[in-house]
Structure 1
């Protein structure tokens, strides 16, 4: 018997990015390739939460692509899918503020997402 139930991963998200995901305008989530995300796959559900609140937003994972750097990720995916309200250079600076060089060295994940029905 095969288990077809989607796995749910809970991840925190800053308010400005949460709002873009909830509106459906942010379709690529950027994460460091941490060990707990190595098994993230198409069909899984991510439940984004604003830390310290009960606000959540569920998305379905459509694709996970690994890149060596955040710069390569933005080049490969296009900055408008990551944050339609910021330039490529602004996004790169913001991502590197969140994740330092030691984190980027682990690799970058582009997670293509779509909002699930509320």
Structure 2
């Protein structure tokens, strides 16, 4: 019997404030735009997060990937504390929209449930 799917490894950049939350095990949902290069991301994959311009990395396992129409729906569906336990829903929405302009948000939002790998 042959496996039909193979776990993939993704490399993604993270801002310091979010990287620190992931590395501490406090952030369980990573938010991304539904870019084509993320379309094949699935449970069982791994992600190596890197702070851009540094050698600092953190590895996580993908537990689940859920698509939403926009960032507001994602925060409502997942709960703001899973995305960033240090900021309110309104602060997070402003921060996410500061990273991704409206034309990117229009592609849709991904909630990537993650767990820190030891």
Task: Tell me the TM-score normalized by structure 2.
Answer: 0.96
Cα deviations by residue, 1:66-112 (Å, 9 ceiling, x for unpaired)? 00010000000000000000000000000000000000000000000
* 1:24 CA displacement: 0.4
Shift of 1:3: 7.2
Distance 2:26 2:5 in 1: 28
Please report how far the alpha carbon of residue 6 of structure 1 lies from its aligned counterpart in structure 2 after TM superposition. 2.6
In the TM superposition, 1:54-65 aligns within 5 A as 54-65=55-66
Partner Cα separation in structure 2 for residue 69 and residue 52 of structure 1:
29
Partner in structure 2 of residue 97 of structure 1: 98
Q: Aligned-residue CA RMSD in angstroms?
A: 1.1
Which position in structure 1 is the counterpart of 2:87?
Answer: 86
Q: Which runs of 5+ in 2 are unaligned?
A: none
Instruction: State how far apart, in whole Å, the 2-side matches of 1:5 and 1:101 are.
Output: 33
Distance 2:114 2:24 in 1: 12
| Mapped pair 1:47 → 2:48 | yes
Match of 2:69 in 1: 68
- Which runs of 5 or more residues in structure 1 are unaligned? none
The offset of 1:52, in angstroms, is 0.4
